[in-house]
């Protein structure tokens, strides 16, 4: 059952009457029966929806969903309407008697019940997973675990135009990856390799935000493609050096044509603790940096902050030289497959950096190594993958 809000109730009586007059063209929609719904877990129909406690009918709901380009319409609790391109994972059919509440706009019709939907289908084809897109081949549907520290695919890539199989695979290829995955209809993920449990193909049942004819995974499910043009997925790189003098680290966005973003040292608490960020009004700015035996240190004439961590999900942190905290020596110089300046890596990986808007610091863009879900200072979906070029 869905609670009514002022935003949901924004449909006017006029708009509903228009929808009702359009129902003459809806004769192709066929009843599918009564289905369970799971408001506290995952909706059986998870697309557009609205509530009308006075005028809900099967016809107005079907017209609403048809006008939105959906394949399925469902009425619930006498007053709720839900739409989707396909039945979602939780949707299981039950007996018709479980749907027993009259529609608020026509007592002769039944509009589901509590946690139960009467569902109607347009007859139009459901989305599909293309078996091949350019050089990418469909690999199947796989289980992901967003709540864990390590996602199945390591790099989230933003697709401003809306995720599709084509856009996601192209973005991953341009970023140098051989595996692409779509999740939750709106997310694009990339990696060089992956290790995950395969799920039923029907588990990946959410339409892509940018193309409703294609599937883009589901909650906790990835629709995965492999680039067939590369027979051997790349492995973690070998560090070329652990020392480099006089470089300027610059973040270069992947998957889109954007200007490089300079990394600067920001004092976030006091004069002894800092992190790397791309904000434009930083308190500290150094002309160059040195890599000394795997540790980063900005070049200055005063006390020198040195790296003390580069943990997954966190921003690289710095303390004043001489602190009791141990110096972190895991950084190194790595090759750039794109042919540009050398890249900054950690433990054999130069491809796990992202810039993430810090939600606790007015959206300041902070550099994060291997960002993860459910972090206190950023939202994973807002992070954008970058390379850190070491410009000398």
pLDDT band of residue 333 (cuts 50, 70, 90) is very high
Q: Do the domain assignments include residue 74?
A: yes
Q: 89 and 12: one domain?
A: yes
Q: 139 and 200: one domain?
A: yes
| Mean pLDDT in residue range 41-64 | 91
Mean pLDDT: which of 37-46, 101-110, 249-258, 366-375 is highest?
Answer: 101-110
| Mean pLDDT in residue range 168-179 | 88
Predicted pLDDT at 2: 34
pLDDT band of residue 382 (cuts 50, 70, 90) is confident
User: What are the structure tokens assigned to 179, written together?
Assistant: 């595996």
If residue 189 lies in a helix (H) or strand (E), which one and from where to where?
strand 187-191
Rg (CA), the chain: 26
Predicted pLDDT at 57: 97
| CATH number of residue 337's parent domain | 2.80.10
Contact between 118 and 74 (Cβ < 8 Å): yes
Q: Do the domain assignments include residue 127?
A: no
pLDDT greater than 60 at residue 41: yes
pLDDT greater than 50 at residue 300: yes
Predicted pLDDT at 266: 81
Q: 265 and 208: one domain?
A: no
| Mean pLDDT in residue range 177-183 | 93
| Mean pLDDT in residue range 346-357 | 85
User: Which stretch of 5-9, 69-73, 336-340 has the lowest confidence by average pLDDT?
Assistant: 5-9
Q: 259 and 384: one domain?
A: yes
Domain-ending residue, one of 69, 90, 121? 121
Q: 77 and 161: one domain?
A: no
pLDDT greater than 70 at residue 169: yes
User: What are the structure tokens assigned to 60, written together?
Assistant: 């107005």
Domain-ending residue, one of 61, 92, 121? 121
Q: 196 and 308: one domain?
A: no
Q: Do the domain assignments include residue 236?
A: no
User: Which stretch of 22-31, 274-283, 342-351 has the lowest confidence by average pLDDT?
Assistant: 22-31
Q: 156 and 206: one domain?
A: yes
Q: Do the domain assignments include residue 237?
A: no
- Write out the residue range of the structural domain in which residue 27 sits: 8-121
Angle, CA of 121, 67 and 25, to the nearest 5°? 65
What are the phi and psi torsion angles at 127 (to 5°)?
-60, 160
Q: 281 and 360: one domain?
A: yes
Q: 265 and 180: one domain?
A: no
| Mean pLDDT in residue range 335-348 | 84
Predicted pLDDT at 288: 86
Q: Between 44 and 119, whose confidence is greater?
A: 119
Q: Do the domain assignments include residue 208?
A: yes
Q: 218 and 162: one domain?
A: yes
Angstrom distance (rounded) from CA 88 to CA 74: 12
Q: Is 224 exposed, middle or buried (0-12, 13-18, 19+ CB in 10 A)?
A: buried
User: What are the structure tokens assigned to 7, written together?
Assistant: 């935003």
Predicted pLDDT at 216: 94
| Mean pLDDT in residue range 260-285 | 76
Q: What is the DSSP string of 302-326?
A: SPPEEEEE--TTB--EEEETT-SSP
Q: 146 and 192: one domain?
A: yes
Q: 211 and 331: one domain?
A: no
Angstrom distance (rounded) from CA 117 to CA 98: 9
Q: Between 151 and 233, whose confidence is greater?
A: 151
Domain count of the chain?
Answer: 3
pLDDT greater than 70 at residue 19: no
Q: Do the domain assignments include residue 3?
A: no
Q: Is 91 exposed, middle or buried (0-12, 13-18, 19+ CB in 10 A)?
A: buried
Predicted pLDDT at 77: 96
Q: Do the domain assignments include residue 192?
A: yes
Is the pTM value of this prediction over 0.75? no
Angstrom distance (rounded) from CA 194 to CA 24: 50
Q: Do the domain assignments include residue 232?
A: no
pLDDT in tens, 60-116: 999 999 999 899 999 999 999 999 988 876 668 999 999 999 999 999 999 999 999
The DSSP bridge partners found for residue 165 are none
Domain-ending residue, one of 171, 194, 227? 227
pLDDT band of residue 27 (cuts 50, 70, 90) is low
pLDDT greater than 60 at residue 257: no
pLDDT greater than 70 at residue 3: no
Mean pLDDT of the chain: 82
The DSSP bridge partners found for residue 185 are none
pLDDT band of residue 232 (cuts 50, 70, 90) is very low
Predicted pLDDT at 219: 87
């Amino acid at each position: 059952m869905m609670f009514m809000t002022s935003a949901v109730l924004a449909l006017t009586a006029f708009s509903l009457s228009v929808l009702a007059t359009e129902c003459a063209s809806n004769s192709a929609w066929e009843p599918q029966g009564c289905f369970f719904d799971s408001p506290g877990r995952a909706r059986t129909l998870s697309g557009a929806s609205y509530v009308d406690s006075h005028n809900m009918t099967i016809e107005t709901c079907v017209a609403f969903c048809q006008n939105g380009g959906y394949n399925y319409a469902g009425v619930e609790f006498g007053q709720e309407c839900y739409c989707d391109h396909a039945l979602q994972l939780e949707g299981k059919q039950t007996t018709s008697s479980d749907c027993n509440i009259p529609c608020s706009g026509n007592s002769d019709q039944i509009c589901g019940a509590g946690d139960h939907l009467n569902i109607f289908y347009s007859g139009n084809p459901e989305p599909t997973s293309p078996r091949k897109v350019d050089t990418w081949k469909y690999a199947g549907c796989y289980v992901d675990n967003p709540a864990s520290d390590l996602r199945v695919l390591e790099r989230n890539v933003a697709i401003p135009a809306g995720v599709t199989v084509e856009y996601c695979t192209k973005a991953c290829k341009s970023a140098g990856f051989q595996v692409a995955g779509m999740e939750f209809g709106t997310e694009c993920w990339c990696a060089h390799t992956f290790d995950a449990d395969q799920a039923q193909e029907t588990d990946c049942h959410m339409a892509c935000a940018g193309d409703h004819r294609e599937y883009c995974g589901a909650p906790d499910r990835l629709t995965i493609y492999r680039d067939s043009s590369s027979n051997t997925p790349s492995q973690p790189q070998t560090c070329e050096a652990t020392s480099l003098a006089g470089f300027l680290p610059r973040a270069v966005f992947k998957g889109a044509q954007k200007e490089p973003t300079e990394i600067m040292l920001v004092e976030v608490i006091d004069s002894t603790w800092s992190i790397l960020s791309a904000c434009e009004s930083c308190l500290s700015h150094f002309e160059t940096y040195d890599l000394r035996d795997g540790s980063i240190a900005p070049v200055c004439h005063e006390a020198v902050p040195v790296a003390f961590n580069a943990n997954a999900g966190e921003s690289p942190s710095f303390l004043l030289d001489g602190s009791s905290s141990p110096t972190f020596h895991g950084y190194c110089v790595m090759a750039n497959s794109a042919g540009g300046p050398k890249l900054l890596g950690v433990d054999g990986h130069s491809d796990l950096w992202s810039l993430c808007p810090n939600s606790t610091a007015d959206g300041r863009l902070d550099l994060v190594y291997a960002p993860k879900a459910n972090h206190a200072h950023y939202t994973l979906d807002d992070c954008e993958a970058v390379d850190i070029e070491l410009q000398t």
